[in-house]
């Protein structure tokens, strides 16, 4: 190999070395610059997973399980009870019918709730909401009673 070839090789290596150094240097500067946060923000995953029971900072803790989670009386009424109690089907006391409801609650709210849980005549147990807990049914009854005064 001639000495001029050696020179070219040396220069090439020098250029490559400075390019590599430049990349590292740029990387170091970027890492310390305020751009870092911006880049992190831009490349962060779109969704964040928060597992039940984990402390997830400001992500709202997920309900333990959708089906068993607490539902409002209004939700249950609308999804399960409305079919009969919204229309008066089969003689169900209608939402908003204060006379019909006060006749029922005169025997005590607990008795009314327990009839809703166990069923009475054409009223099916839990109004057919098999996944409803006793508390869910009580909440739905309270919703109907409160809105039928």
Name the segment binding ligand HEC (CB under 6 A); options: 19-27, 29-37, 39-47, 107-115.
107-115
Binding mask 23-52 for ligand HEC (x = CB under 6 A): ------------------------------
Cα-to-chain-centroid distance, residue 7: 67
DSSP 63: P
Binding mask 59-98 for ligand HEC (x = CB under 6 A): -----------------x---xx-xxx---xxxxx-----
Helix axes 35-43, 3-32, angle to 10 degrees: 80
Cα-to-chain-centroid distance, residue 99: 39
Binding mask 128-147 for ligand HEC (x = CB under 6 A): xx--x----x--xx------
Q: How far is CA 124 from CA 53, 65, 116, in A?
A: 36, 26, 8
Q: Tell me the closest approach of the beta carbon of residue 107 to ligand HEC, in angstroms.
A: 7
């Amino acid at each position: 190999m001639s000495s001029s070839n050696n020179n070219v090789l040396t220069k090439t290596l020098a250029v490559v070395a400075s390019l590599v150094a430049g990349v590292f240097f740029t990387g170091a500067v970027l890492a310390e610059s305020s751009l870092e946060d911006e880049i992190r923000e831009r490349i962060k995953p779109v969704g964040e997973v928060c597992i039940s029971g984990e402390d997830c900072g400001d992500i709202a803790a997920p309900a333990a399980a959708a089906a068993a989670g607490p539902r409002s009386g209004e939700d249950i009424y609308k999804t399960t009870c409305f079919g009969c109690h919204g229309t008066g089907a089969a003689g169900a006391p209608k939402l908003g019918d204060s006379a019909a409801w006060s006749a029922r609650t005169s025997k005590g709210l607990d008795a009314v709730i327990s009839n809703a849980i166990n069923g009475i005549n054409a009223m099916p147990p839990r109004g057919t909401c098999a996944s409803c807990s006793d508390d869910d049914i009580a909440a739905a009854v309270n919703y109907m009673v409160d809105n039928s005064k």
